Amino acid sequence: MRFEKLEVSQEKFDLNMKFYFFLKHLVKTSLTDRQANKLLSVIVGKKSLELKLEALPIFLAEIKSQTKYDNLDIVFSRILDDVDLEIFIFSLKLYLIKDLLLEESKLKSIIELEDLANLNPLSLKYDNKTLNSPYSTRVNGALLSLCFFHKIENGETNLLSADAQDYICRLSKQAIKLKEIGIEPNQIFMLMFSESINQSIISNSGSNYEDRIFDTLVNIGISSDSISKLHDDADKSTEYDFFFKLDNRSYGIGAKRTLRERYKQFIKTSLTSQIDVMIEITLGLDLNESKAKTITGHGTKLFVADEIYEAKNFLQQLDGVFSVKDLNLETLKSL
Q: pLDDT digits over 50-78, tens only?
A: 888 888 988 989 888 898 888 889 889 89
Element (H, E) at 171: helix 165-180
Amino acid at residue number 320: G
Going through the chain in order, the beta strands assigned E by DSSP cover 228-231, 239-246, 249-255, 277-282, 301-304, 321-323
The residue among 274 and 17 whose pLDDT is bigger is 17
pLDDT of 19-44, one tens digit each?
A: 889 988 888 888 888 898 899 888 88
279 vs 204, residue with greater confidence: 279
- The per-residue pLDDT for 247 is 92
Q: Which of 157, 192, 158, 190 is nearest to 173 (CA)?
A: 157
pLDDT in tens, 285-328: 888 898 899 888 888 899 999 999 999 999 999 999 999 999 99
- What Rg, from alpha-carbon coordinates, does the chain have? 29
In the DSSP assignment, the letter for residue 259 is -
106 or 290: which leads in pLDDT? 290
Comparing C-alpha atoms, which of 177, 202, 210 is closest to residue 89? 177
* The pLDDT of residue 204 is above 70: no
Q: What's the mean pLDDT in 142-151?
A: 74
Cβ proximity of 30 and 68 under 8 Å: yes
Q: What is the pLDDT of residue 236?
A: 67
| Model confidence, pTM | 0.59
Please check whether residue 252 is in contact with residue 277, taking contact to mean a CB–CB distance below 8 angstroms: yes
Residue 269 has what pLDDT? 65
CATH number of 209-334: 3.40.91.80
The ranges of the chain annotated as CATH 3.40.91.80 are 209-334
CB distance 93 to 171 below 8 Å:
yes
Is the confidence at residue 201, as pLDDT, over 60?
Answer: no
- pLDDT above 70 covers a percentage of the chain that reads 81
Q: In what order do the strands lie in the sheet with 249-255?
A: 228-231, 239-246, 249-255, 277-282, 301-304, 321-323
Span of 40-49, 258-267, 268-277, 290-299 with lowest mean pLDDT: 258-267
If we measure between CA atoms, which residue out of 79, 82, 72 comes closest to residue 25?
72
**8 Å CB contact between 60 and 69:** yes
Position 127 pLDDT exceeds 90:
no
Whether the CA torsion 234, 240, 244, 248 is positive or negative: it is: negative
Q: What is the mean pLDDT of residues 110-117?
A: 73
Mean pLDDT (the chain, rounded): 81
Read off the pLDDT of residues 151-191 as tens digits, 9 standing for 90 and up. 767 766 565 544 555 666 777 778 878 888 888 887 787 77
What distance in Å separates the CA atoms of residue 155 and residue 183, rounded to the nearest whole number?
A: 17
| Spatial contact of 277 and 335, defined as CB atoms under 8 Å apart | yes
Cα–Cα distance for residue pair 230/328, rounded to 1 Å: 22
Give residues with Cβ within 8 angstroms of 152, minimum separation 6. Answer: 168, 171, 172, 175, 185
Nearest by Cα to 38 from 99, 81, 96, 90: 96
